[in-house]
Amino acid sequence: MRDVPKLQIATLCAFLTTLALTPGCPTTMEPPPGPQPTTTIALETVAQGFTSPLALASALDGTGRLFVVDQVGSIWIIDRSGNRKATPFLDLGDKIVPPNAGYDERGLLGLAFHPEYASNGRFYVRYSAPRDGQPEEGCNDPTGFVAGCHTEVLAEYQVSASDPDVVDPESERILLVVEKPQFNHNGGQIAFGPDGFLYASFGDGGGANDNEEGHTLNLGNGQDLTTLLGKVLRIDVDGGDPYAIPADNPFVNEPAAQPEIWAFGLRNPWRFSFDAGGDRRLFVADAGQNLFEEVDIIVRGGNYGWNIREGMHCFDPLNAGMPPNDCTIVDRNGNPLIDPIIEYPHVADAGHVAGIAAIGGFVYRGAAIPELFGWYVFGDFSTDFASSDGTLLAAQENSDGTWTLNELVVAGRPGGRIGRFILGFGQDEAGEVYILTTANAGPTGETGELHRIVPAP
């Protein structure tokens, strides 16, 4: 990003900390022992010319269409032949906060099709809207780099009755609005679970440490059950007005808790997915802060530790770069804090996996690469904030329940690296996995691409 090098190093480290991107900042972390194994794959470019493609969804309607979510406000259709439709499926450019071109975590963030979309034409989006009644200049990041406060909107739309490739623009039905104190840590993923309910992720509110303005004093939003921030939610879009709360949500009988909450203690659950096979488990990549990145398997009522812990390590909100030697292993109600299944550091020796922001992916259930079947394929944004150097990763579950982390080597690319920022992942009806990338750290230009993972030649 061109603007970042102009900042002084101390300011840069402070700014990147708020983004969960901290290259070059001091750390006492030691790399894990032993090298990680590698697996070689290749990439097939499916579509190009996006600005900042964050998500990919299939309508599961038998048409083979892929729907690409571009952060700047548009959803584009890629047809079965790999051609992008000339007109967007949906354009929300006039509803979202205009994203800052240098870097931003706001915009059009998520898309989910109703399980009965083929018959009812309903789908859902997550986007960042201006906050009514509060000027943007009152919400600036301390660096002055990007404005912050806004609202996160979850809305329902209906496909046009006359054209399956466009949306009825008058059909919006807003289900949920969540106020955000800072521009970052928005989560943004939405997906239907195997139970037919809609799941949605929200970050802790933004800033850093989960202790700034708009964060619960001495507790943090992640641990506070009275707020939807720092949570995974679960709602029934087929009942109630505008939705119903499933009767088996874990906190429906706790008056002080928000009944939509399914799991909590999360920092920025940027991307999650349900395994299309096996036990249909819910995998979440929760972007870390100064030292560690993590992937969690989300369970009903689970507490994943933020801001008591970062990954598997203790965390001190007043000294984020120095993990305390000791911290609690239970929350205020005596429930255990759940460890991630995967953790990796921001800084590591050569031969070890490292990164600065985990990007959630999918359990591979395709047929093109049999050796990856059942592995969780995901990635990391980049090795540092200024370089387009994302890392493709895959994790294999062992018989004892532990996971082995592998770097995916990209055949035919320099050093086996993808050479681009990784923004998101997707999966088609056949279980094949796609990667969404860009050459720019922020939502600008037309360098965004969609790639399919294919066997190495």
Domains of the chain: 4-455 (2.120.10.30)
Residue-wise pLDDT for 162-187, tens only, equals: 999 999 999 999 999 999 999 999 99
- Cβ–Cβ under 8 Å, residues 441 and 421: yes
Q: In angstroms, what CA-CA distances link 22 with 27, 64, 207, 305, 391? A: 10, 39, 13, 21, 16
Residue-wise pLDDT for 117-130, tens only, equals: 999 999 999 999 98
Distance, CA of 184 to CA of 178 (rounded, Å): 14
Indicate if the pLDDT at residue 30 is higher than 80: no
Distance, CA of 381 to CA of 371 (rounded, Å): 24
pLDDT attached to residue 148: 66
Instruction: Please give the average per-residue pLDDT across 442-457, as a whole number.
Output: 97
Instruction: Please give the average per-residue pLDDT across 86-111, as a whole number.
Output: 95
Tokens of 317: 């909100």
Amino acid (one-letter) located at 101: A
Indicate if the pLDDT at residue 76 is higher than 70: yes
Residue with more model confidence, 3 or 414: 414
pLDDT attached to residue 143: 41
Distance, CA of 10 to CA of 20 (rounded, Å): 15
Backbone angles phi, psi at 120, to 5 degrees: -110, -15
Pairing of strands 122-129, 150-159: antiparallel
Cis peptide before 325 (omega within 30 of 0): no
Q: Is 350 exposed, middle or buried (0-12, 13-18, 19+ CB in 10 A)?
A: exposed
pLDDT attached to residue 132: 73
pLDDT band for position 131 (cuts 50, 70, 90): confident
Residue-wise pLDDT for 147-156, tens only, equals: 467 999 999 9
pLDDT attached to residue 203: 98
Indicate if the pLDDT at residue 411 is higher than 80: yes
What does the mean pLDDT of the chain come to? 89
pLDDT attached to residue 314: 97
pLDDT attached to residue 360: 98
pLDDT band for position 133 (cuts 50, 70, 90): low
Residue with more model confidence, 133 or 71: 71
- Please count the other Cβ atoms lying within 10 Å of the Cβ belonging to residue 65: 19
pLDDT band for position 350 (cuts 50, 70, 90): confident
Among 380, 354, 368, which residue's Cα sits nearest to residue 427? 368
Element (H, E) at 395: strand 391-397
Instruction: Please give the average per-residue pLDDT across 45-69, as a whole number.
Output: 96
Distance, CA of 216 to CA of 199 (rounded, Å): 24
Distance, CA of 21 to CA of 92 (rounded, Å): 28
Cis peptide before 443 (omega within 30 of 0): no
How much of the chain, in percent, has pLDDT values that exceed 70?
Answer: 88
Residue-wise pLDDT for 367-391, tens only, equals: 999 999 999 999 999 998 889 999 9
Indicate if the pLDDT at residue 445 is higher than 60: yes
Instruction: Please give the average per-residue pLDDT across 175-201, as a whole number.
Output: 96
Q: Is 40 exposed, middle or buried (0-12, 13-18, 19+ CB in 10 A)?
A: middle
DSSP string, 62-113: SS--EEEEETTTEEEEE-TTSPBPSS-SEE-TTTS----SS--S-SEEEEEE
Residue-wise pLDDT for 264-281, tens only, equals: 999 999 999 999 999 999
Indicate if the pLDDT at residue 435 is higher than 70: yes
pLDDT band for position 38 (cuts 50, 70, 90): low
DSSP string, 269-336: EEEEEE-SSTT--EEEEE--SSSEEEEEEE-TT-B--TTTEETTEE--TTSTTS--S---SB-TTSPB
Q: Any idea which of 14-18, 56-60, 174-178 has the lowest mean pLDDT?
A: 14-18
Q: In angstroms, what CA-CA distances link 357 with 97, 251, 268? A: 23, 30, 10
Indicate if the pLDDT at residue 35 is higher than 50: no
- Cβ–Cβ under 8 Å, residues 288 and 346: yes
Indicate if the pLDDT at residue 140 is higher than 80: no
pLDDT band for position 242 (cuts 50, 70, 90): very high
Q: Is 125 exposed, middle or buried (0-12, 13-18, 19+ CB in 10 A)?
A: buried
Distance, CA of 2 to CA of 440 (rounded, Å): 9
Q: Model's pTM, two decimal places?
A: 0.91
Distance of CA 407 to the CA centre of its chain: 20
pLDDT band for position 345 (cuts 50, 70, 90): very high
Instruction: Please give the average per-residue pLDDT across 54-81, as a whole number.
Output: 96
Among 139, 111, 147, 128, which residue's Cα sits nearest to residue 203? 128
Backbone angles phi, psi at 359, to 5 degrees: -115, 115
Distance, CA of 367 to CA of 374 (rounded, Å): 11
Pairing of strands 403-410, 38-50: parallel
- Cβ–Cβ under 8 Å, residues 191 and 235: no
pLDDT attached to residue 149: 79
Among 270, 291, 417, 268, which residue's Cα sits nearest to residue 346? 291
Indicate if the pLDDT at residue 31 is higher than 80: no
